């Protein structure tokens, strides 16, 4: 017997969570474009999509965020910090790949310096994941040793019922348990069968690819030039990626005061590695694409023993010239054998 | 598809007799209707060539990649009418020499693809002239009409909502054949004319500067619109600018390889209705 | 760290009255980077300037802001002060808190607040100023004088006598201008021909002066020291190298009835003519509109009568291109078209004439050989009424200014009339007699006392013909009653107005003009003969109405300016020029197209083996005038203008 | 702040004509509203549309751009180029919802001190009637506000 949450009860849960102080967020579609957005009622959710166009990381690592305000007084400067918001958040309808993305970035933001902007939000959020019963050509969680129902990074896992009128609720963490306790009265015991998980074919063998990447001779291989000829060097793959975490610090202001901001940055921009002298260690687009793949599947696992990719497929889904990790790793796996 | 076959053999012949070092075309993409830019240098790559109504992207931007044309060798490229106009502007702005470019012109109505006569940019000038005189009657964007009926406050609210989604990934810039500057104005920080952050104000400034820099140069190929990951209707802004320069200065972007940029020339009798 | 000195000037009361300078100095002292913030009554004075120099040395300042009057007034002064104190002069900026703040605002708080903003804005600009050196530009040592009237002649002679080359361009067939039409000139009554024609001959024979008559300036390009001028030589249909000026052709010409412009319509001339007997050069011109050959291709009498066949009907206009270093504009004035004065009956009654027509009557070589005869019946008029301010000082007719010379020439006319027609009686209607020159008032007193011209203080309302007499209805304000004088002839002292094409000509050579079309001087009191464009000077009535002595004085002043310019091998020019960033220039050549001075060239960047890697824009500092049009065009911000760099303008705005 | 709205107006002017005209308004002791702040450029050719964006970012409620009448430009055709840029940029701003009533363009010669003073007064009154540019100020506040989510 497991606890079941029926869809018709969802709205009561949302109001309950809201009165418990949570801002309830979930996938919302507007003009054929979807992202994780705060909602008023359960009806605002759009749970039918494979996954939202924008990734979950934005709620923890926004595209731009003020860090401090500085004002100039005579010959001195005084500053006043912005503390990250401490409101409690409950994110409903998260996809396993997005949730896994958060857990991949946790060790990085918690590395030698604890990024309080990231952790202030992480510690106040409950991730309620819904396992995937649908996938599209770009999903590749299985190729990254994840699955449509993997639990990494989630606080609660909901498995859709066969006749799609509710979910099996399974708590994974303390926060998950508390969140479920808060809506205890709307849960019922039952044994309705769950729907079959989405079928996500494995696109490539990850280990062979990582091995090829770790082999230093391949760093100068002609492969990188051929595979990235089409790349136009925009930042959309990195900005939509649930695990990309690079940022740039910028000061914006006038003569008297200004704001220091933390903004997303992308390794596919030339400016990312441009020296003031004008020299750029990564001057060609193929060097930059190589860096993206090497970082995700070689350097990052080297430090945190987990690949910096949760297989959501957004980079391939969104690329203006139809490139992406899938095609690259598929080609690498053929080179290796 | 007869046209596609005809072109495959033509490409192979050009590669074989060494008159071109590369052909830039389309190949099937990761889904049924997606098409990828394809750089053909060998017979195997030529076999991947596909040419149908799904081949929409304007490939002329690839011609200005660093070093591609610096060895004086010729390159062939598949271009739709907008692509040929982009090529004309790139030549007019001395970014490439059109004698190095062999054009495989094509256009498509519905599913049916037909080839355009001519191989050198100058052979298309009266064809482009006819496009200017009677533009294909794809009706003007309904959204453009709606925006024009709004008052400034409503329009500002519309664009504020659109630009609040912008994440400054610069896909619009990178996919545009006209954006070939070595260092874009947003990348220069002494002074920082356009705020780098992607708050709504910074996004407003970026999109205004981008549209202004494309006034009289945008051919309406839609690359920017299609590559925007957050679906901002960028084509509307550029369409408005094209109508403006056509209406005020009778300037149709990409008429010929010697066309003067509209904002670097003037006529004494330009109208000045708005000057006090 | 920047160490900026801010010097706030009271300018006596001009600034201090509306701007609280003490509060301003205190607030500016707080501004980041400001090391010195002091106020003083007159910084432009000697002690003021010394205190600035001392402050610069004591605090080794890296930038100076003078918060005072307009930069157009004393920027040069204070930049010299900084230079003398060892600070690069281009690290000094002026905050305009007088013309654009204290003088134009009433609320003291608002004015002080604005003065703070203006000063802070300039402080932020000066922090980004770079050390600049003036630019050396070669000077073409050849002057162009436009206009062959008395002013043009004087300027040309002064420059040529100093050993410099001059090109004198005159639109009419002969030199002389309006002065050659005058009889005698006030206040000494010496005949204009006697004092002018020798100068005209001197010009024609001067080895250093190239005289181009019946020629017009078509186009002027370039800038101070390096003008390129295109001159159109209008075809005379007479070969000027061959013609000796014998005049046979003019005698034989069958067309005799053309009304002579030189005689203002009182005399007649032939189709082939010289404007007047003493024309220099004495080479006739065929008036195409009235010549029979050009109408129906028959006549050719003049060609047959010319023994040295100097006449050639197929001559075409020619063009000459000149390299010029400086230009003196002496294009003179025009008589106002008096058609606007229907009430005075000019044009309706033949005996109502203008002052210039009276001059032609009084001139010995004029149509009436000096006798005062009425145009209608040729009799000597018994009574003549002179009407002053017939056009000047009349806002309804668009001429609000005083034409300055009419009081004097009308007194002269009355005097000449008295000498020539002893029994005649003259009346002068006037508002105020403006005779302020040397010996001027004595001259008008003599007209009144010795030649008993009766001066009536009042304006004329109407002139009409009544049984053979021109009835002049006016008012005598001193007696307080209207007065009507039956007269035989009426002379209108019409207004002096700019040449009809004055504005269009100003646009051709690029100088500023005022609301009437007179040319703007750089500064009314301090730089009266310099135009707004460097290297172009003004002389004579083209700048504003003036008499012969003032025109001569201005002509010599302009000549001295030209000679000062030519005294140096090269010319120092403001280093406000553009420069390109070759790393980021994409070579689209938009700036080359936008530049009005074609100062931007294509420069090829070669690799070691000499192959072109890329070609980029490169600015020639000698040609660049610093307008900045290219900077605004450049999409990738790869070209910048010294003195108004992107960083400076951005900083100026960010301080507002 | 006094209860009436005091608009902030930034003006970009060319040195040889409008700035000289402004000086002439000064020497003639004409009076005009103190809301305007002038920035001097050598020529209208040097006035870039990006200045307008920065002025808006500094909270300007109204922007005036002025230079020599066509034909009078000290640099021959700086103002002709500027006129085209203004025409295009103005229609772009309008399309973006930045009302063209807030961005005014004019020709003022060195002799038109009176016209300069009148124009500044009229522009100040027009913008005062229009009220503060709240929509843009909202954007500016948003950049200074701490993150909410």
Same domain? For A184 and A211 the reply is no
For C335-497, which CATH superfamily applies? FAD/NAD(P)-binding domain (3.50.50.60)
Same domain? For A225 and A148 the reply is no
**Predicted-assembly ipTM surpassing the 0.90 threshold:** yes
Closest to D95 in 3D by CA, of B239, B141, B230, B222: B239
In a domain, A199, yes or no: no
pLDDT at C132 over 80: yes
Residue-range definition of the domain harbouring residue A83: 2-190
Number of domains in chain A: 2
- Mean pLDDT, residues A304-312 taken together: 94
Residue C294 half-sphere exposure, CB side, CA atoms within 13 Å?
15
Does residue C187 have a cis bond before it (omega within 30 degrees)? yes
Domains C142-234+317-332+499-566 and C335-497 alike in fold: yes
Per-residue model confidence (pLDDT) at position C407: 94
In a domain, A200, yes or no: no
Same domain? For A153 and A68 the reply is yes
The shortest C-alpha distance from C208 to chain B (Å) reads 39
pLDDT at D1 over 60: no
Per-residue model confidence (pLDDT) at position B2: 59
Structural domains of chain D, ranges and CATH numbers in brackets: 9-144 (3.40.50)
Per-residue model confidence (pLDDT) at position B138: 59
Segment 285-324 of chain A within 8 Å of chain B by CB: 316, 318, 320-324
Per-residue model confidence (pLDDT) at position A31: 87
The angle formed by the CA atoms of residues A305, A311 and A312, to the nearest 5 degrees, is 135
pLDDT at D85 over 70: yes
Q: Ramachandran region of residue C367, left (φ > 0), alpha (ψ -120 to 50) or beta?
A: alpha
Q: List CB contacts (< 8 A) between A316 and chain B.
A: 30
The shortest C-alpha distance from B140 to chain D (Å) reads 16
In a domain, A265, yes or no: yes
Residue B129 to residues B97, C166, C605: CA-CA distances in angstroms? 21, 53, 37
Q: With beta carbons less than 8 A apart as the criterion, state whether D49 and D83 touch.
A: no
CA dihedral A183, A184, A188, A190 (to 10 degrees): 110
Per-residue model confidence (pLDDT) at position A63: 95
Question: Of C506, C514, C656, which is closest to D10 when you measure between CB atoms?
Answer: C656
pLDDT at C518 over 90: yes
pLDDT at B274 over 70: yes
Highest CATH level, class, for C578-654: alpha beta
Q: Is A85 on the interface with D (CB under 8 A)?
A: yes
- Cα C424 from Cα C413, distance rounded (Å): 13
Q: What is the CATH number of domain C4-127?
A: 3.40.50
Q: Return the HEC string of chain A.
A: CEEEEEHHHHHHHHHHHHHCCEEEEEEEEECCEEEEEECCCHHHCCCCCCCCCCCHHHHCCCCEEEEEEEEEECCEEEEEECCCCCCEEEEEEECHHHHHHHHHHHHHHCCCCCCHHHHHHHCCEEEEEECCCCCCCCCCCHHHCCCCCCCCCCCEEEEEECCCCEEEEEECCHHHHHHHHHCHHHEEEECCCECCCCCCCCCCCHHHHHHHHHCHHHHHCCHHHHHCCCCCCCCHHHHHCCCCCCEEEEEEECCCEEEEEEEECCCCCHHHHCCCCCCCCCCCHHHHHHHHHHHHHHHHHHHHCCCCCCCCCHHHHHCCCCCCHHHHHHHHHHHHC
Of B128-137, B235-244, C594-603, the one with minimum mean pLDDT is B128-137
Same domain? For A241 and A176 the reply is no
Q: Is B16 on the interface with A (CB under 8 A)?
A: no
Q: Return the HEC string of B156-179.
A: HHHHHHHHCCCCCCCHHHHCCCCC
Per-residue model confidence (pLDDT) at position B140: 75
Question: Of C587, C590, C638, which is closest to B261 when you measure between CB atoms?
Answer: C590
pLDDT at A2 over 90: no
Average pLDDT, chain A: 93
- Mean pLDDT, residues C589-594 taken together: 93
pLDDT at A146 over 90: yes
User: For the whole model, what pTM was predicted?
Assistant: 0.80
pLDDT at B3 over 80: no
Residue C145 to residues B15, C207, C209, C536, C605: CA-CA distances in angstroms? 69, 16, 10, 10, 44
Task: Determine what percent of chain C is predicted with pLDDT higher than 70.
Answer: 100
Closest to B233 in 3D by CA, of B150, B157, B158, B139: B158
pLDDT at C163 over 90: yes
Domain boundary among A166, A190, A214: A190
Same domain? For A121 and A216 the reply is no
Segment 46-75 of chain D within 8 Å of chain C by CB: 46-48, 51, 54-55, 58, 71-72, 74-75
- Mean pLDDT, residues C278-302 taken together: 89
- What are the domain boundaries of chain C? 4-127, 142-234+317-332+499-566, 248-305, 335-497, 578-654
Q: With beta carbons less than 8 A apart as the criterion, state whether C312 and C283 touch.
A: no
Q: List CB contacts (< 8 A) between C510 and chain D.
A: 74, 76
Domain boundary among A161, A190, A219: A190
Closest to C70 in 3D by CA, of D43, D35, D27: D27
pLDDT at A115 over 60: yes
Write out pLDDT tens, residues B158-211: 999 999 999 999 999 999 999 999 899 999 888 999 999 999 999 999 999 999
Q: What is the CATH number of domain C142-234+317-332+499-566?
A: 3.50.50.60
The shortest C-alpha distance from D111 to chain B (Å) reads 16
Q: List CB contacts (< 8 A) between C98 and chain D.
A: 26
The shortest C-alpha distance from D60 to chain A (Å) reads 14
Tokens of A141: 């969680």
- What are the domain boundaries of chain B? 2-133, 142-264
């Amino acid at each position: 017997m497991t606890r079941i949450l029926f869809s018709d009860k969802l709205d009561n849960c949302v109001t309950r969570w809201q009165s418990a102080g949570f801002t309830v967020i979930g996938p919302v579609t507007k003009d054929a474009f979807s992202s994780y957005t705060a909602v008023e009622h359960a009806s605002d959710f759009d749970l039918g999509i494979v996954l939202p166009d924008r990734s979950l990381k934005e709620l923890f690592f926004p595209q731009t965020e003020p860090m401090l305000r500085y004002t100039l007084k005579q010959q001195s400067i005084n500053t006043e910090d912005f503390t990250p918001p401490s409101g409690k958040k409950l994110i409903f309808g998260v996809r396993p790949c997005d949730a896994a993305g958060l857990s991949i970035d946790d060790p990085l933001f918690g590395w030698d310096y604890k990024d309080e902007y990231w952790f202030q939000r992480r510690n106040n959020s409950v991730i309620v994941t819904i396992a995937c019963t649908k996938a599209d050509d770009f999903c590749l969680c299985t190729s990254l040793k994840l699955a449509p129902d993997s639990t990494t990074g989630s606080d609660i896992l909901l498995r859709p019922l066969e006749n799609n009128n509710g979910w099996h609720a399974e708590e994974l963490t303390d926060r998950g348990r508390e969140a479920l306790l808060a809506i205890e009265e709307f849960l019922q015991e039952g044994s309705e069968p769950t729907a079959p998980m989405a079928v996500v074919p494995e696109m490539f063998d990850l280990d062979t690819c990582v091995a090829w990447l770790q082999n230093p001779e391949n760093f100068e291989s002609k492969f990188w030039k051929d595979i990235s000829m089409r790349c136009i060097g925009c930042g959309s793959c990195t900005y939509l990626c649930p695990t990309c975490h690079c940022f740039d610090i910028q000061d914006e202001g006038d003569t008297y005061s200004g704001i220091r901001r933390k903004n997303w940055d992308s390794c596919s921009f030339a400016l990312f590695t441009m020296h003031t002298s004008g020299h750029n260690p990564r001057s060609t687009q193929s060097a930059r694409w190589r860096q993206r793949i090497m970082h995700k599947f070689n350097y990052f696992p080297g430090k945190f023993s987990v690949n910096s990719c949760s297989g959501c497929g957004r980079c391939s889904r969104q690329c203006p010239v139809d490139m992406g990790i899938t095609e690259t790793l598929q080609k690498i796996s053929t080179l290796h054998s | 598809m007869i046209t596609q076959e005809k072109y495959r053999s033509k490409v192979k012949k050009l590669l074989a007799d060494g008159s071109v070092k590369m052909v830039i075309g389309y190949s099937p993409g990761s889904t049924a209707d997606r098409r990828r830019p394809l750089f053909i240098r060998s017979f195997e790559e030529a076999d991947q060539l596909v040419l149908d109504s799904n081949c929409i992207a304007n490939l002329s931007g690839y011609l200005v990649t660093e070093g591609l044309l610096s060895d004086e060798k010729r390159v062939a490229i598949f271009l739709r009418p907008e692509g040929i106009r982009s090529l004309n502007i790139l030549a007019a702005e001395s970014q490439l020499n059109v004698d190095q470019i062999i054009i495989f012109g094509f256009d498509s109505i519905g599913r049916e693809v037909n080839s355009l006569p001519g191989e050198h940019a100058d052979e298309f000038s009266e064809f482009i002239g006819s496009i200017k005189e009677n533009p294909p009657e794809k009706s003007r964007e309904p959204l453009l009409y709606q925006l024009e009926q709004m008052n400034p406050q409503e329009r500002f609210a519309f664009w504020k909502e659109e630009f609040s989604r912008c994440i400054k990934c610069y896909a619009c810039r990178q996919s545009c054949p006209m954006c070939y500057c070595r260092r874009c104005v947003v990348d220069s920080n002494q002074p920082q004319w356009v705020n780098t952050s992607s708050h709504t104000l910074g996004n407003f400034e970026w999109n205004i500067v981008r549209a202004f820099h494309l006034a009289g140069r945008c051919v309406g190929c839609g690359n920017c619109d299609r590559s925007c990951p957050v679906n901002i209707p960028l084509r509307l802004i550029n369409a408005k600018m094209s109508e403006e320069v056509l209406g005020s200065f009778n300037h149709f972007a990409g008429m010929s390889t010697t066309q003067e940029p509209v904002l670097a020339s003037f006529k004494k009798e330009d109208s000045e209705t708005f000057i006090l | 760290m920047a160490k900026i000195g801010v010097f706030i000037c009271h300018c006596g009361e001009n600034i201090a009255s509306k701007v609280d300078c003490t509060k301003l100095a205190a607030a500016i002292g707080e501004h980041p980077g400001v090391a010195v913030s002091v106020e003083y009554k007159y910084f432009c004075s000697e002690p003021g300037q010394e205190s600035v120099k001392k402050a610069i040395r004591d605090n080794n300042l890296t930038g100076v802001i003078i918060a005072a009057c307009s930069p157009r007034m004393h920027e040069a002064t204070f930049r010299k002060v900084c230079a003398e104190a060892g600070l690069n002069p281009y690290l000094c900026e002026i905050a305009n808190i007088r013309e654009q703040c204290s003088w134009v605002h009433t609320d003291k708080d608002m004015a002080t607040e604005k003065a703070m903003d203006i000063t802070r804005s300039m402080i932020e600009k000066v922090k980004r100023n770079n050390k600049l050196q003036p630019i050396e530009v070669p000077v073409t040592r050849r002057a162009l004088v436009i206009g062959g009237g008395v002013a043009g002649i004087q300027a040309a002679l002064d420059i040529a006598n100093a050993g410099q080359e001059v090109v004198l361009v005159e639109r009419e067939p002969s030199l002389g201008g309006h002065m050659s039409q005058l009889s005698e000139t006030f206040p000494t009554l010496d005949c204009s021909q006697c004092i002018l024609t020798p100068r005209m001959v001197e010009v024609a024979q001067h080895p250093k002066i190239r005289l181009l008559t019946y020629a017009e300036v078509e186009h002027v390009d370039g800038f101070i020291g390096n003008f390129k001028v295109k001159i159109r030589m209008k075809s005379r249909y007479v070969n000027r190298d061959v013609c000796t000026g014998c005049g046979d052709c003019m005698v034989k010409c069958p067309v005799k009835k053309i009304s002579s412009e030189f005689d203002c319509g009182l005399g007649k001339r032939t189709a082939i003519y010289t404007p007047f007997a003493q024309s220099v050069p004495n080479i006739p011109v065929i008036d195409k509109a009235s010549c029979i050959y050009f109408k129906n291709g028959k006549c050719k009498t003049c060609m047959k009568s010319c023994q040295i066949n100097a006449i050639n009907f197929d001559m075409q206009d020619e063009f000459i291109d000149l390299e010029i270093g400086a230009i003196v504009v002496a294009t003179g004035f025009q008589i106002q078209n008096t058609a606007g004065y229907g009430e005075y009956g000019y044009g309706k009654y033949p005996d109502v004439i203008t002052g210039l027509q009276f001059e032609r009557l009084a001139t010995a070589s004029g149509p009436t050989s000096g006798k005062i005869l009425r145009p209608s019946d040729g009799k000597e008029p018994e009574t003549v009424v002179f009407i002053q301010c017939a056009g000047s000082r009349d806002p309804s007719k668009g001429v609000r200014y005083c034409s300055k010379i009419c009081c004097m020439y009308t007194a002269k006319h009355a005097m000449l009339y008295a000498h020539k027609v002893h029994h005649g009686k003259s009346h002068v209607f006037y508002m105020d007699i403006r005779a302020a020159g040397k010996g001027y008032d004595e001259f008008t007193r003599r007209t009144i006392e010795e030649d008993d011209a009766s001066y009536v203080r009042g304006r004329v309302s109407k002139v009409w013909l009544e049984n053979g007499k021109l009835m002049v209805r006016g008012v005598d304000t001193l007696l307080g009653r209207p007065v009507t004088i039956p007269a035989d002839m009426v002379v209108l002292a019409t207004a002096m107005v700019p040449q009809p094409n004055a504005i269009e000509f100003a646009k051709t050579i690029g100088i500023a003009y005022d609301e009437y079309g007179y040319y703007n001087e750089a500064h009314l009191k301090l730089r009266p003969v310099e135009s707004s464009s460097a290297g172009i000077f003004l002389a004579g009535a083209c700048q504003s109405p003036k008499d012969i002595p003032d025109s001569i004085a201005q002509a010599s002043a302009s000549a001295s300016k030209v000679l000062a310019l030519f005294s140096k091998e090269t010319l120092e020019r403001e280093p406000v020029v553009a420069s390109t960033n070759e790393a980021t220039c994409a070579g689209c050549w938009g700036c080359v197209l936008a530049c009005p001075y074609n100062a931007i060239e294509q420069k090829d960047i070669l690799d070691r083996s000499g192959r072109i890697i890329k070609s980029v824009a490169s600015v020639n500092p000698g040609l660049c005038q610093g307008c900045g049009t290219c900077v605004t065009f450049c999409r990738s911000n790869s070209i910048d203008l010294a003195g108004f760099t992107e960083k400076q303008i951005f900083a100026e705005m960010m301080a507002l | 702040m006094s209860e009436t709205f005091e608009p902030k107006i930034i003006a970009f002017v060319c040195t040889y004509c409008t700035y000289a005209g402004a000086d002439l308004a000064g020497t003639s002791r004409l009076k005009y509203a103190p809301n305007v702040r002038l920035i001097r450029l050598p020529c209208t050719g040097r006035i870039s549309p990006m200045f307008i964006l920065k002025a808006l970012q500094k909270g300007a409620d109204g922007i005036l751009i002025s230079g020599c009448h066509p034909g009078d430009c000290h640099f021959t055709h700086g103002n002709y180029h500027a006129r085209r840029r203004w025409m295009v940029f103005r229609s772009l701003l309008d399309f973006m919802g930045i009302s063209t009533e807030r961005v005014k363009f004019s020709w003022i010669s060195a002799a038109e001190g009176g016209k300069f003073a009148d124009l500044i007064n009229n522009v100040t009154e027009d913008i005062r009637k229009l009220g503060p540019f709240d929509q843009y100020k909202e954007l500016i506040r948003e950049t200074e506000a701490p993150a909410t989510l």
